[in-house]
Amino acid sequence: MRLGGPLFQSYHSPEEWVAVVQKYGYRAVYCPVDVNTSLETIRQYEIAAQRADLIIAEVGAWSNPLSPDEQERQKALTLCKQALALADEIGALCAVNISGSRGDKWDGPDPRNLTAETFDMIVQTVRDILDSVKPRRAYYTLEPMPWMYPDSVDHYLDLIRAINRPMFGVHLDPVNLINSPQRYFENARLIKDCFERLGPWIKSCHAKDILLRPHLTTHLDEVRPGLGGLDYRTFLREAHRLPQDVPLMLEHMTEENDYLLAAQYIRQIASEEGLSL
């Protein structure tokens, strides 16, 4: 289990990048280059990460491969394939995206998202991405979302079985699975279920928090780790039990200080539990 997050300092070489990462005390990192980077430079960063004992957790493929706009959909598919190829080349654990939305907003709710037709579209889309790239070591993963597949452990397992490709993996974001008061108040049970049933496929995790507000109707907000109701003790204990060295990547904050406070909170919980990050 390793903690990582975004970097708020620029770098111009693999050596400078490693120095910045080590300043933050991270042992896991987001991919330091983009899909337009030369193979020579990609290789230099891969070697630098190996020498510094850093895990490159993931390459973001954030886009909408289910877009109703055909041009946007094709552009998204191209990006997903490029991101997976980059992950495979640089030695990242995975490329990650959401499954996509049938609506106008790429990550938004739509009445068609949670339907059998869309499930089949996701299966065919992920198969196409994996079969086109044929990765040797990086996995293609889907981040759960509250209003699109996979929105539960059951649906993630359904996708794993239906996609039926060895390089399809799980990107776990437990906050995104909390879409009701029941799941909010029982999130320790949800987290345990995630690791118990999805554990062998988990490649990377996102670390954030969630708060149920006392506003009608149900109102759930993402917040900085430590300011919400997510059971981080359970989250860290379960991640630590996995045989694979899984990254926990901080995300979705805007200020550097928030990331520092979030890292401090998670490290404190880990220390109290006798766990290393």
Entry pTM: 0.96
Predicted confidence at residue 54, as pLDDT, reads 98
Per-residue confidence at 249, pLDDT binned at 50, 70, 90?
very high
Angle (CA) 253-141-262 rounded to 5° is 25
Cis peptide before 254 (omega within 30 of 0): no
Per the prediction, the chain carries an average pLDDT of 98
Give domain 2-272's CATH number out of 3.40.50.300, 3.20.20.150, 3.40.630.30, 1.10.3720.10. 3.20.20.150
Mean pLDDT, residues 250-254 taken together: 96
In this structure, the strands spanning 2-4 and 209-213 are unpaired
Q: Cβ neighbours of residue 253 under 8 Å, at least 6 residues apart?
A: 208, 224, 259, 262
Strands (E), the chain: 2-4, 28-30, 55-60, 94-97, 139-142, 168-172, 202-207, 209-213, 219-223, 247-250
Alpha carbon distances (Å) from 190 to 27, 196, 277: 27, 10, 22
Q: For residue 9, name the pLDDT band (cuts at 50, 70, 90).
A: very high
| Predicted pLDDT at 40 | 98
Residue for token pair 């299966």: 123
What would the pLDDT profile of 181-194 be if each residue is shown by its tens digit? 999 999 999 999 99
Residue 153: per-residue pLDDT: 98
Q: Domain spans of the chain? A: 2-272
Distance of alpha carbon 66 from alpha carbon 101, whole angstroms: 6
User: Which pLDDT score is estimated for 94?
Assistant: 98
Query: DSSP states of 136-178 as a string?
Result: SSPEEEE--BTTBSS-SHHHHHHHHHHH--TTEEEEE-HHHH-
Mean pLDDT of 241-258: 97
Q: For the chain, how big is the Rg over CA atoms in Å?
A: 18
Average pLDDT over residues 166-190: 98
Tell me whether residue 263 is exposed, middle or buried, using C-beta atoms within 10 angstroms of its C-beta: 0 to 12, 13 to 18, 19 or more. Answer: buried
What average pLDDT does range 150-162 have in this prediction? 98
pLDDT at 272: 98
Residue 261 — pLDDT band, cuts 50, 70, 90?
very high
The pLDDT of residue 191 is: 98
